[in-house]
């Protein structure tokens, strides 16, 4: 026993596997038992021994081993003297007394495992067959859960080929893997399915699905067969995604000057899935609502989201699958690029959507997280592989994509595309680091890209650029922006883009130090233009870069006037409002100044601006309830007044030929008014909901208005009148469309009565709500029920942990239940609770959530202490809007 401990000890606590050997080829046979929910595996791994060794160390987790042997190139068989398993480090150590010489050999392993219920590794979930629940199988291996299915070198750089065989598959089920089927053998009620050998790929991209499906297919111009696998009877709902996949495959082949490397691409709807989708090579898996488009139940937002998600996953077949990050430190190369390029192709497919404006919603998620002290660099050290799960976040995805857009904007579209094509050619079927991409961009563009971009990826955070006008000189000063207003000496090389009075008058330059200046008199052609009445300056034109801007009072006033006069683009209107909110939250701007800025948007707005205005109204309302409770109700009327004209113009029903933007705006603005308790909106919503309950085919509640109706119903539900909850639960049980079920779950916890919300949370724990769908309920918990939700979470801790595990889905419980609080006392209570309930897998998420609570607490105290600003708010915004 002591010898075993010593043997294991030398391999424990290592971030990477030792380099004794590397895999070349996996030959994997899995015998599945869907009734007993277990599997038996036989694995042959072609291995290259790099140096004499007495050990082979692989990754393995929750597997039981039966036989292990190694046969070298001289056909000599070696049986390990010890087979040691360490579940903490997730390694399998094979000890060979004689030792293994340099050269190739085959490692043979027979083992077994359980089909788990936690939506990771090789897992089981259920589907309905004529009303009966039956088991099926799917996989989710990213980031490091291939080891739950088969022992392997589970690191992205250790690519190999895979030949997969599935046995004991019920004959009526469809079996899929990364490659096409090469042979299928029927044995009465079961079958064995053989798949072609794959190209080289990382273990996290291996995939298997076994379930009951209908299939539709199409073929690209290059002859790639694309299929969508849908639940039986729902194949029509896969047509939209199929069309998007074909078009995006063709576009990326052209854009990257690199063909898609596989003979087929399958996309499969999985009834239970932890994430949104997964880019497994040649077999993309999705949540059902991310793949299926329903004419009756898919709102405009659903259609848009589906398009971007499909494009994102297809894009990974170049950024991620073909060229793979060398280690998880560079995960942003996968996720940031797939995010950015999904918007690029969506803009080409649907230019009328103005999708780059919507990209700003991605950017502000990155800006928000990266303003935290508990943020992290884009390139983050991953000392222990499982910890990478916390870094699939707004930094890797949203900030990553935003800095890509920033450097693309700086270098120009043509050079950037040419560089990416060279990068693909150079690193195809290999692994790359961030610096490899910078080197290719430098070589193609002639610009020392790494000197600009290294600091953006290796240093956390971003700057706020303070701008003031001194005569005809613009003066710039950069400081790191923290929502907590923490001081920092960090600096960046910032690509500044300025629009001066119009979008035809622009200036680009690099701010390479803390302070900079720009004389604009010559640029404008004289001082008289600078003092003209309609003159304005916008920094970060069209929000193409990743930083915030703080203007002096004069420049801010000119921008407010330019907004009111419709002189600015929607993206710049969005950016000015978003920066104002962030500066106010950081106590760098009075709350009254934020309200003045919001009042400027009392006009016709594009969707992206209206959506941000609504979000700012939500956040400001919650802060004011705590900071100035006596004014909260009156200021609620101010927020209603900002949104009412848009709602009245849009109405409850679509007009023939209206834009998708109108549908998006209708959904959000009506829901906002329902949340704010606007009497007429609430009355109309409930009336239309009743009509819908009585007749699902009524035209009185179009799909884009249903969230507003559901919220209005729940905001008027209480223990005294539970009918709203009962009707929504009845609708949830009876409706088949996953889009409608999701929509109901997003709204069902919005009730202001904490007792009702507690019942909803208990309902979420029941078998009626799938594991994966808890995230929708959690995100919709009402502000009034936050304390109840926290108590419920603590009481049900063990049950939640058992049912959802301690990783991806559990993180939503932490974030959505903790972040609504806004006082230091609650932040302290949360820290005390988790000190006695430690979970390393959500440590970063927890720290960020607690920090967000403290940021709001600080903001509230700042407002309370500013008597002068409170008086200004009362005089200017309360008395004027009391009648709404």
Q: What is the CATH number of the domain that holds 485?
A: 2.60.40.1910
443-454: buried (b, 16+ CB within 10 Å) or exposed (e) per residue? ebbeeebbebbb
Residues 502, 365: one domain?
A: no
Range of the domain at 469: 463-562
Please write the tens of the pLDDT for every residue from 22-68.
999 999 999 999 999 999 999 999 999 999 999 999 999 999 999 99
What percent of the chain has pLDDT above 70?
Answer: 97
Q: In this model, does residue 527 exceed pLDDT 80?
A: no
For residue 698, is it within any domain? no
- What is the structure's pLDDT at 5? 56
For residue 873, is it within any domain? no
Please write the tens of the pLDDT for every residue from 696-732.
888 889 999 999 999 999 999 999 999 999 999 999 9
The closest alpha carbon to 121, from 110, 133, 137, belongs to: 137
The backbone torsions φ and ψ at residue 793, rounded to the nearest 5 degrees and listed phi first, read: -60, -45
For residue 580, is it within any domain? no
Please write the tens of the pLDDT for every residue from 432-484.
999 999 999 999 999 999 999 999 999 999 999 999 999 889 999 999 999 99
For residue 20, is it within any domain? yes
The Cα 78–Cα 94 span in angstroms is 11
Higher-pLDDT residue of 690 and 656 is 690
Please write the tens of the pLDDT for every residue from 322-343.
999 999 999 999 999 999 999 9
Q: Which residues are catalytic?
A: 313
Q: Give whole-number Cα distances, 641 to 570, 601, 678, in Å.
A: 21, 11, 10
Domain boundary among 211, 231, 260: 211
The Cα 73–Cα 468 span in angstroms is 73
Residues 310, 182: one domain?
A: no
Domain boundary among 153, 186, 211: 211
Structure tokens at 397: 């995805």
Residues 93, 182: one domain?
A: yes
Residues 290, 430: one domain?
A: yes
Please write the tens of the pLDDT for every residue from 189-237.
999 999 999 999 999 999 999 999 999 999 999 999 999 999 999 999 9
Range with the poorest average pLDDT among 308-312, 383-387, 404-408, 692-696: 383-387
Q: In this model, does residue 551 exceed pLDDT 60?
A: yes
How, if at all, do strands 190-195 and 161-170 pair?
antiparallel
- What is the structure's pLDDT at 215? 97
Q: Average pLDDT for residues 105-125, to the nearest whole number?
A: 96
- What is the structure's pLDDT at 390? 87
CB 635 within 8 A of CB 625: no
Tally of structural domains, the chain: 3
Residues 9, 60: one domain?
A: yes
Q: In this model, does residue 2 exceed pLDDT 60?
A: no
Q: 698 Cβ partners below 8 Å, 6+ apart?
A: 691, 692
CB 279 within 8 A of CB 318: no
Q: What is the pTM of this model?
A: 0.95
Residue 194 marked in a binding site: no
Domain boundary among 211, 246, 281: 211
For residue 324, is it within any domain? yes
Beta strands in 200-290 (DSSP E): 208-211, 214-219, 225-230, 264-270, 277-278, 283-287
- What is the structure's pLDDT at 841? 87
Residue 335 marked in a binding site: yes
On the 0-12 / 13-18 / 19+ scale of CB atoms within 10 A, 77 is exposed
How, if at all, do strands 38-49 and 82-86 pair?
unpaired
Specify which residues 27 forms β-bridges with. Answer: 44, 163
Q: Give whole-number Cα distances, 881 to 561, 634, 671, 873, in Å.
A: 21, 7, 20, 12
Higher-pLDDT residue of 597 and 524 is 597
The Cα 448–Cα 457 span in angstroms is 15
Question: Over the chain, what is the mean pLDDT?
Answer: 93
**CATH code: domain of residue 19:** 2.60.40.1730
Residues 136, 20: one domain?
A: yes
Residues 401, 509: one domain?
A: no
Q: In this model, does residue 881 exceed pLDDT 80?
A: no
Residues 224, 359: one domain?
A: yes
Residues 363, 352: one domain?
A: yes
With bands split at pLDDT 50, 70 and 90, how would you rate the model's confidence at 12?
confident
**CATH code: domain of residue 245:** 1.10.390.10
Residues 263, 183: one domain?
A: no
For residue 172, is it within any domain? yes
- What is the structure's pLDDT at 523? 67
Residue 779 marked in a binding site: no
Q: Average pLDDT for residues 811-827, to the nearest whole number?
A: 96
Q: Average pLDDT for residues 513-522, to the nearest whole number?
A: 88
Q: In this model, does residue 567 exceed pLDDT 80?
A: yes
Between CA 236 and CA 242, with CA 241 as vertex, the angle to 5 degrees is: 80
The Cα 50–Cα 21 span in angstroms is 5
For residue 864, is it within any domain? no
Residues 290, 375: one domain?
A: yes
Specify which residues 175 forms β-bridges with. Answer: 210
For residue 531, is it within any domain? yes
Residues 207, 217: one domain?
A: no
Q: In this model, does residue 109 exceed pLDDT 80?
A: yes
Q: Is 266 helix (H, G, I), strand (E, B) or coil?
A: strand
């Amino acid at each position: 026993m002591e010898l075993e401990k010593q043997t294991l000890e030398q391999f424990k606590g290592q971030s990477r596997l030792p380099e004794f050997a590397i895999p070349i080829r996996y030959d994997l046979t899995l015998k599945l038992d869907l009734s007993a929910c277990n599997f038996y595996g036989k694995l042959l791994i072609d291995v290259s021994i790099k140096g004499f060794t007495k050990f082979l160390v692989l990754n393995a987790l929750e597997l039981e081993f039966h036989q292990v042997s190694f046969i070298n190139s001289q056909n000599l068989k070696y049986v390990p003297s010890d087979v040691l398993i360490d579940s903490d480090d997730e390694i399998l150590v094979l000890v060979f007394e004689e030792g293994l010489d340099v050269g190739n050999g085959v490692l043979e392993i027979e083992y077994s495992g359980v089909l788990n219920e936690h939506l990771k590794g090789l897992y089981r979930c259920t589907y309905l067959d004529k009303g009966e629940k039956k088991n099926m199988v799917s996989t989710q291996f990213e980031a490091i859960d291939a080891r739950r299915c088969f022992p392997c070198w589970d690191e992205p750089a250790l690519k190999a080929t895979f030949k997969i065989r599935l046995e004991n598959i019920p004959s009526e089920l469809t079996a899929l893997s990364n490659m096409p089927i090469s042979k299928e053998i029927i044995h009465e009620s079961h079958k064995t399915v053989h798949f072609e050998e794959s190209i080289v790929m990382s273990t996290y991209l291996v995939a298997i699905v076994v379930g009951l499906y209908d299939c539709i297919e199409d073929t690209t111009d290059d002859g790639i067969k694309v299929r969508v696998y849908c639940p039986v009877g729902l194949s029509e709902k896969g047509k939209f995604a199929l069309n998007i996949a074909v078009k995006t495959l063709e576009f990326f082949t052209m854009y990257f000057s690199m063909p898609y490397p596989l003979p087929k691409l399958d996309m499969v709807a999985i009834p239970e899935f932890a994430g949104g989708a997964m880019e497994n090579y040649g077999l993309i898996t999705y949540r059902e609502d991310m793949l299926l488009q329903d004419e009756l139940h898919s709102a405009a937002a659903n259609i848009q989201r589906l398009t971007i998600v499909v494009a994102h996953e297809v894009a990974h077949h170049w950024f991620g699958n073909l060229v793979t990050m060398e280690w998880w430190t560079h995960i942003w190369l996968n996720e940031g690029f797939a995010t950015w390029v999904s918007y690029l192709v969506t803009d080409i497919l649907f230019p009328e959507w103005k999708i780059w404006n919507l990209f700003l919603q991605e950017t502000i998620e990155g800006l928000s997280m990266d303003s935290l002290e508990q943020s992290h660099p884009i390139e983050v050290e991953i000392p222990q592989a499982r910890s990478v799960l916390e870094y699939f976040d707004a930094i890797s995805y949203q900030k990553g994509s935003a800095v890509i857009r920033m450097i693309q904007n700086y270098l120009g579209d043509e050079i950037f595309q040419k560089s990416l094509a060279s990068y693909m050619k150079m690193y195809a079927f290999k692994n790359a680091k961030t610096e490899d991409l910078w080197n290719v961009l430098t070589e193609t563009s002639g610009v020392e890209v790494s000197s600009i971009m290294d600091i953006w990826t290796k240093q956390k955070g971003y700057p706020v650029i303070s701008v003031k006008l001194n005569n005809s000189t613009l003066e710039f000063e950069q400081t790191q922006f923290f929502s907590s207003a923490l001081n920092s000496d960090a600096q960046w090389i910032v690509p500044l883009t300025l629009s001066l009075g119009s979008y035809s008058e622009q200036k680009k330059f690099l701010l390479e130090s803390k302070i900079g200046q720009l004389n604009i008199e010559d640029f404008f052609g004289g001082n008289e233009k600078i003092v003209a009445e309609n003159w304005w300056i916008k920094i970060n034109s069209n929000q193409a870069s990743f930083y915030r801007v703080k203007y002096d009072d004069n420049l801010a006033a000119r921008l407010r006037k330019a907004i009111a006069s419709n002189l600015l683009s929607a993206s710049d209107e969005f950016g000015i409002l978003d920066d104002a909110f962030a500066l106010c939250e950081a106590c760098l701007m009075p709350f009254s100044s934020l309200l003045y800025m919001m009042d400027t948007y009392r006009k016709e707005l594009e969707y992206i601006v209206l959506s941000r205005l609504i979000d700012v109204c939500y956040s400001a309302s919650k802060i004011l309830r705590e900071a100035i409770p006596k004014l909260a109700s009156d200021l609620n009327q101010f927020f209603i007044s900002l949104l009412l004209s848009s709602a009245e113009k849009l109405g409850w029903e679509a007009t023939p030929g209206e834009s998708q933007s109108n549908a998006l705006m209708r959904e959000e603005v009506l829901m906002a008014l329902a949340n704010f308790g606007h009497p007429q909106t609430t009355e109309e919503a409930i009336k239309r909901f009743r009509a819908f309950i009585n007749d699902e085919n009524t035209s009185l509640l179009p799909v884009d208005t249903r969230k507003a109706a559901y919220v209005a119903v729940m905001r008027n539900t209480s223990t005294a009148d539970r009918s709203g909850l009962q009707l929504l639960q009845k609708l949830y049980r009876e409706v088949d469309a996953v889009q409608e079920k999701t929509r109901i779950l997003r709204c069902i916890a919005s009730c202001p009565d904490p007792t009702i919300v507690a019942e909803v949370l208990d309902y979420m724990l029941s078998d009626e709500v799938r594991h994966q769908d808890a995230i929708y309920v959690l995100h919709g918990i009402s502000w009034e029920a936050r304390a109840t939700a926290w108590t419920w979470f603590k009481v049900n801790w063990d049950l939640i942990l058992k049912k959802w595990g301690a990783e991806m889905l559990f993180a939503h419980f932490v974030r959505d239940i903790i972040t609504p609080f806004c006082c230091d006392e609650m932040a302290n209570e949360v820290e005390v609770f988790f000190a006695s309930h430690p979970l390393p897998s959500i440590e970063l998420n927890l720290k960020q959530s607690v920090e967000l609570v403290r940021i709001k607490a600080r903001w509230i105290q700042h407002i309370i202490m500013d008597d002068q600003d409170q008086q200004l708010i009362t005089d200017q915004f309360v008395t004027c809007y009391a009648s709404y």
